[in-house]
Structure 1
Amino acid sequence: MQTLLLGPDDVAEHADLPAVIDAVASAFAADARGDTIMPAKSYIDLPQYNGDFRSMPAYVHAGDWDAAAVKWVNVHPDNPADHDLPTVLGTLIYSDPETAFPLAVMDGTVLTRLRTGAAAAVATDHLAVADADSLGLVGAGTQAYTQLEAIAAVRDIETVVVADRDRAKQTAFAEHFGDRFAVHAGSIEEAAGCDVLSTITPVESPIVDREWLGEHTHVNAIGADAAGKHEHDDRTLLDAKLVIDDYEQCTHSGEINVPWSEGTLSEADIYGELGSIVAGDLDGRIDDDGITLFDSTGLAIQDVATAHVAYQGARLADAGTEFELVGTSTSGRP
């Protein structure tokens, strides 16, 4: 029996983004129903290399499909300058939960980009105003491209404001999407006034003021993925209908982690988890809601869902490279 090797181009081509959004939504709902197993993300900190490794295993049973996977991913900020490598590198092993056979080994970097955008799209679909047509982006890196593609799949986005300290990145982003959207470079304040705002920065001190947000802005807080990171004014977190992806991860390393640890935020300030909204156990946006905010740390169940789409798509297209990863003999010791 052969394992399928899927590189970044394979994942990008065969993990159709609308299908990924649907699968990630199903995974959130499955989690709310108790149909997932997701141990806490584990970290290996390597201060001598200014980096860390993260291990993210999960199992998802989502109605007509189930799957298991583990992602091994890192954050090494010095990689681009010192080693000509990306800051984040990921590898995912996708397994048959019935037999444990490794069905695929695939690139986890593109996969992470897709599942992060998909989670924001799911949150936007449930929490943004129905007629949202403007999107603000703070940060013009790779994830910004996926945020726009994914959010435009659930709302009719027409106008995009992108803010970044790097003017070249702003220009490149505007040129990339200029034939599909009215994109212009702007300030963080301009971006924050849009119907939907996605923030994708690694800052540790808030850069988005409460008063800059529109009356009904929905915020996807993406950047905080480690303890100490914090993009948004505490007043925003206190005023908003605050939705998180996972209690343990968000209180440890999400957008809320700093004010939570300081006692500024408490459980009473959290409306609920996104999975409960997708499953129908909690309301999403209602008529009298003002600002809504989704704290996205990125869950292993999202990786499993995206890997499922990529694997199924690649199999249907007869794509990828088959190879023998493990022996299938039943003799001998494990």
Structure 2
Amino acid sequence: MDILWLNQSDVKSVLDMPSAMLAAESGFREHGLRKVQMPPKSYLYFERHNGDLRTMPSFMEDQDIAGVKIVNVHPDNREKGLPTVMAVVVLNSTETGAPLAIMDGTYLTDMRTGAAGGVAAKYLARSDSNIVGMVGTGDQARTQLLALSQSMDIEQVRITCRNLSNCASFEKEMAPVVNCDFVRTGSIKEVCKCDILVTTTPVRSPIVKSEWIREGTHINAIGADATGKQEIGSSLLKRAKVVVDDIIQASHSGEVNVPISSGVFSQADIHAELGEVIAGIKPGRENDEEITVFDSTGLAVQDLVTANMVYHKALTAGIGKKMRLF
């Protein structure tokens, strides 16, 4: 049988942010309705190489699609001329189990994670939000901002990162896309003076303090995706309405994992999963004074629903290369 091979150029040609957000929202909704099978992602840790490898299988029952993503996170890769995150997604037939497609998952991961932030802001941010603050300006920051530009009219973006020259590069790339004012600063405190704060760093000690965050702020906490990582102070999480993508996964590898393990926060303090909010099972933002936090760990179902969309678009457009495995 033939398998469709899609390289990164193929995926980029059919995957844009509006379609990624539609896919993400549908995937989260099905997850909230408990119509997916999705065990927590499993990790292999390569301590001598400062990296890890993760496998993320899932099955969406109503759409009858299944697959798995294999993805790494190696922070030192940039010194080797490689992306920090690289991934491959395999789609499988639920009828036979045979692989249908193998595709680049690196760009797909960036887009689906950015899309999740845009969808979260749609349900959790104030409707009059127009100032975005960004801590971190890497690849993920770019897709986060791109998705937010689909959800709101952005007037100003405040940015900070460890190397201010990277802030300048970020502004040069994103200003034509978002078409708003950019403010660069070396102060995280100044960046926190915003309506929507996005954190995309790999830190293991909190860098956002509770006293810096005003009432009514929404935070997309993206960086914490493994045990021991934390960007936001635990006291801030206690002040906020916390929404996670998946309670079990977030508890061991999301923004809440360190506060939970230290006993200052618990699963009972989590308000909802994003899918429950989208499906109307639990409320999202209920007033303009609430501080809301979306703890994004990245779900296999996000990869699956996005990859399935890419697969069908590629078939329709005649994109990709058919290869015989057996």
TM-score of the alignment, normalized to the shorter chain, above 0.5: yes
CA distance in 1, matches of 2:163, 2:99: 41
Paired position in structure 2 for 1:181: 180
Q: Which amino acid aligns with 1:238?
A: K
What is the aligned counterpart of 1:100 among 97, 104, 108? 97
| 8 Å CA contact retained: 2:247, 2:267 | no
Structure 1 position 101, deviation (Å): 2.9
Structure 1 runs of 4+ with >6 Å offset:
none
Paired position in structure 1 for 2:279: 279
Paired position in structure 2 for 1:68: 66
Secondary structure, in 3 states, of the residue corresponding to 2:308? helix
Residue 168 (str. 1) matches residue 157 (str. 2): no
CA distance in 2, matches of 1:177, 1:235: 33
Q: Deviations over 1:110-166 (max 9, x none)?
A: 111011111111111000001111111110001111001111111112211111111
Q: What does 1:133-148 correspond to in 2, within 5 Å?
A: 133-148=130-145
CA distance in 2, matches of 1:120, 1:61: 24
Paired position in structure 1 for 2:147: 150
Q: Which amino acid aligns with 1:143?
A: Q
| 8 Å CA contact retained: 1:16, 1:310 | no
Q: Which amino acid aligns with 2:129?
A: A
Q: Which amino acid aligns with 2:66?
A: A
CA distance in 2, matches of 1:99, 1:19: 28
Q: Which amino acid aligns with 1:181?
A: C
Secondary structure, in 3 states, of the residue corresponding to 2:151? coil
Q: Deviations over 1:57-98 (max 9, x none)?
A: 001135xx33211011112223222x3322221111012223
Q: Which amino acid aligns with 1:78?
A: D
Secondary structure, in 3 states, of the residue corresponding to 2:281? coil
CA distance in 2, matches of 1:267, 1:247: 7
Gaps of 5+ in 2: none
| 8 Å CA contact retained: 2:215, 2:289 | no
Change (3 A) 1:92 1:41: same
Structure 1 position 27, deviation (Å): 1.0
Secondary structure, in 3 states, of the residue corresponding to 1:170? helix
CA distance in 2, matches of 1:50, 1:205: 17
Q: Which amino acid aligns with 1:123?
A: A
Secondary structure, in 3 states, of the residue corresponding to 1:78? helix
Change (3 A) 1:288 1:184: closer
CA distance in 2, matches of 1:273, 1:103: 31
Q: Which amino acid aligns with 2:24?
A: V
CA distance in 1, matches of 2:22, 2:82: 32
| 8 Å CA contact retained: 1:56, 1:300 | yes
Residue 113 (str. 1) matches residue 110 (str. 2): yes
Q: Which moved more, 1:44-53 or 1:262-271?
A: 44-53
Structure 1 position 3, deviation (Å): 1.4
CA distance in 2, matches of 1:182, 1:309: 34
Paired position in structure 2 for 1:204: 204
Gaps of 5+ in 1: 328-334
Identity of aligned residues (%): 46
Q: Which amino acid aligns with 2:123?
A: H
> RMSD between aligned alpha carbons?
1.4
Paired position in structure 2 for 1:125: 122
Structure 1 position 49, deviation (Å): 2.4
CA distance in 2, matches of 1:260, 1:182: 38
Q: Deviations over 1:2-61 (max 9, x none)?
A: 211111122122112211111111111111212101012111122232222111000113
| 8 Å CA contact retained: 1:20, 1:305 | no
| 8 Å CA contact retained: 1:124, 1:218 | yes
Paired position in structure 1 for 2:40: 40
| 8 Å CA contact retained: 1:136, 1:161 | yes
What count of residue pairs does the alignment treat as equivalent? 323
Residue 30 (str. 1) matches residue 22 (str. 2): no
CA distance in 1, matches of 2:139, 2:197: 16
| 8 Å CA contact retained: 1:94, 1:105 | yes
CA distance in 2, matches of 1:79, 1:175: 24
Q: Which amino acid aligns with 2:113?
A: T
TM-score (structure 1 length as normaliser): 0.93
CA distance in 1, matches of 2:289, 2:23: 27
Secondary structure, in 3 states, of the residue corresponding to 1:178? helix
| 8 Å CA contact retained: 1:177, 1:183 | no
Q: Which amino acid aligns with 2:236?
A: T
Paired position in structure 2 for 1:332: none
| 8 Å CA contact retained: 1:221, 1:296 | yes
Structure 1 position 288, deviation (Å): 5.2
CA distance in 1, matches of 2:46, 2:238: 34
Q: Which amino acid aligns with 1:79?
A: N
